[in-house]
């Protein structure tokens, strides 16, 4: 996820992701394949009992810079490592259809069945911008996604079996749509992966599809540990809603998990930045502010650190701004005493205003050189313009919940090292 992809909608959904480094790749060729469908897979009967799915997460913000979950897909089932991304909708796998151009992957490329999603299917329509949906080949649904780091995936939509374990002890095998990506270009934040798990708000997201089949509520949650790992939850029967801080999703930005505008708070005091459009995005390792807010924050931090035993470390290229101490730092606890807490205040001026706290642990990392580095980056430099992203670094050790049914976003501090098993488990 380091700089994980701002999904820019060409013919697909709009999502988010960002990149830190840069790289160039060759000229782009886009040749569309034609697939012939066979008899559609019959629908299965499912238990409608309220339940959830818990997926363990592997990875960290630093030094790995990405997270992945394992899903078993196909008949017979095969494991795939997917990047969980709340900033985009479509789930896709690198696909041997055959593959025109694919990147290195942890597992053999996905071999699709011929259960194609047709062009006029509502799922296919949902992937296209209003007025842009065309059916040059009505027998299949073509997709193309391009990411801000230069990465992309082109392919067709198919349906296949997802083998899922629910917290009520039942395994279900729903058939759901996913992208068979036969032409991938790696972005500058590339790391070997089988595909992307789209967890956004659109109809094509896996949670939306599960909800449409009555298997879970349309609720996504994640708990990312600062020690690495954590878990994602699909469904709502594991949460105690009364313990979380809640703010409404903005109705004006329906494509993203966004509470709208926020005010930036530094050490309990307003910075004067009150119109920061924020998006929660598990697909981004770091948090991003627009150029004006970023430069204000870094200038304030430098003033605060004046006279303290920290010096800028321009030779450390881990992140754009790092400081070295008298001796190398071993962990954040050694360095956080020099830094003040930040916060983002949503629903400004309203009685239900909510504050998202950012302790120093939520915006700093310790580099391999033992320096402390700022994990808030300049979003304007990576193509976000005036948008701002709350990335994984700032969501660590919090349970973050996106309730698409109530159109609310919630969060609460949480030890994310232990997986929840059922409602009887003491989740909070």
- Note if 89 is an active site residue: no
- Note if 160 is an active site residue: no
- Compute the distance between CA of residue 186 and CA of residue 376 in angstroms, rounded to an integer: 24
- Compute the distance between CA of residue 61 and CA of residue 65 in angstroms, rounded to an integer: 5
In degrees, rounded to 5, the angle at the alpha carbon of residue 288 between the alpha carbons of residues 307 and 306 is 5
Question: Which H/E stretch holds residue 262?
Answer: strand 260-266
Selected catalytic residue, list 194, 281, 316, 403: 281
- For residues 329-349, one letter each, b for 16 or more C-beta atoms within 10 angstroms of the residue's C-beta and e for the rest, the string is beebeebbebbebbbbbbbee
Contacts 24+ apart (CB under 8 A), 343-347: 343/264, 343/265, 343/268, 344/262, 344/263, 344/264, 344/265, 344/276, 344/278, 344/390, 345/262, 345/263, 345/265, 346/247, 346/259, 346/260, 346/261, 346/262, 346/278, 347/247, 347/248, 347/259, 347/260
In degrees, rounded to 5, the angle at the alpha carbon of residue 419 between the alpha carbons of residues 415 and 425 is 95
Selected catalytic residue, list 83, 85, 316, 397: 85
- Compute the distance between CA of residue 355 and CA of residue 346 in angstroms, rounded to an integer: 6
- Compute the distance between CA of residue 360 and CA of residue 174 in angstroms, rounded to an integer: 42
Tallying the residues shown for the chain, one arrives at 428
DSSP string, 95-121: B-SS-SB----SSPPB---S-BPPTTS
Pull the structure tokens for residue 382.
Answer: 């990576």
Cβ atoms within 10 Å of 391's Cβ, excluding its own: 30
Pull the structure tokens for residue 96.
Answer: 């041997």
Beta strand 372-374 with 92-94 is unpaired
DSSP string, 369-427: TS-EEE-EEESGGGT-TTEEEE-HHHHBTEEEEEETTTTEEEEEE--TTS---STTS--
Strands, E, within 168-218: which ranges?
171-172, 175-185, 195-198
- Compute the distance between CA of residue 276 and CA of residue 342 in angstroms, rounded to an integer: 14
List active site positions: 85, 281
């Amino acid at each position: 996820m380091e700089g994980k992809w701002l999904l820019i909608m060409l013919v697909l959904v709009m999502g988010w992701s960002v990149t830190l480094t840069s790289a160039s790749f060759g000229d782009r060729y886009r040749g569309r394949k034609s697939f012939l469908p066979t008899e559609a897979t019959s629908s299965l009967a499912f238990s409608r009992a309220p339940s959830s799915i818990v997926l363990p997460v592997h990875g960290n913000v630093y030094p790995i810079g990405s997270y992945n979950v394992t899903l078993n897909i196909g008949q017979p089932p095969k494991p795939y490592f997917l990047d969980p991304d709340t900033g985009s909708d479509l789930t896709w796998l690198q696909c041997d259809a055959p593959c025109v151009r694919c990147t290195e992957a942890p597992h053999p490329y996905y071999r699709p069945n011929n259960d194609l999603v047709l062009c006029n299917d509502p799922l296919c329509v949902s992937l296209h911008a209003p007025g842009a949906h065309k059916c040059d080949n009505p027998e299949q649904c073509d997709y193309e996604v391009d990411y801000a780091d230069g990465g992309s995936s082109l392919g067709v939509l198919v349906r296949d079996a997802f083998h899922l374990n629910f917290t009520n002890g039942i395994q279900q095998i729903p058939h759901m749509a996913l992208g068979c990506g036969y032409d991938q270009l790696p972005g500058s934040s590339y790391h070997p992966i089988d595909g992307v798990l789209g967890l956004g708000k659109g109809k094509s997201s896996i949670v939306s599809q599960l909800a449409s089949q009555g298997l879970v509520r349309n609720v996504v949650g994640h708990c990312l540990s600062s020690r690495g790992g954590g878990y994602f939850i699909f469904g709502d029967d594991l949460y105690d809603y009364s313990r979380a801080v809640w703010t409404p999703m903005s109705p004006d930005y329906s494509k993203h998990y966004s509470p709208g505008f926020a005010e930036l708070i530094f050490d309990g005091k307003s910075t004067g930045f009150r119109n920061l459009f924020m998006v929660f995005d598990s697909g981004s390792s770091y948090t991003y502010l627009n150029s004006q807010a970023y430069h204000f924050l870094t200038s304030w931090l430098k003033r605060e650190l004046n006279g303290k035993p920290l010096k800028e470390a321009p030779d450390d290229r881990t992140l754009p701004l790092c400081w070295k101490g008298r001796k190398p730092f071993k962990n954040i606890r050694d360095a956080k005493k020099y830094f003040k807490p930040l916060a983002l205040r949503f629903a400004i001026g309203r009685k239900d205003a909510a504050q998202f706290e950012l302790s120093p642990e939520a915006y700093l990392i310790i580099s391999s050189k033992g320096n402390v580095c700022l994990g808030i980056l300049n979003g304007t430099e990576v193509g976000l313009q005036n948008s701002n992203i709350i990335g994984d670094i700032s969501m660590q050790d919090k349970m973050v919940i996106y309730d698409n049914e109530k159109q609310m976003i919630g969060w609460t501090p949480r030890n994310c090292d232990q997986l929840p098993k059922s409602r009887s488990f003491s989740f909070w």
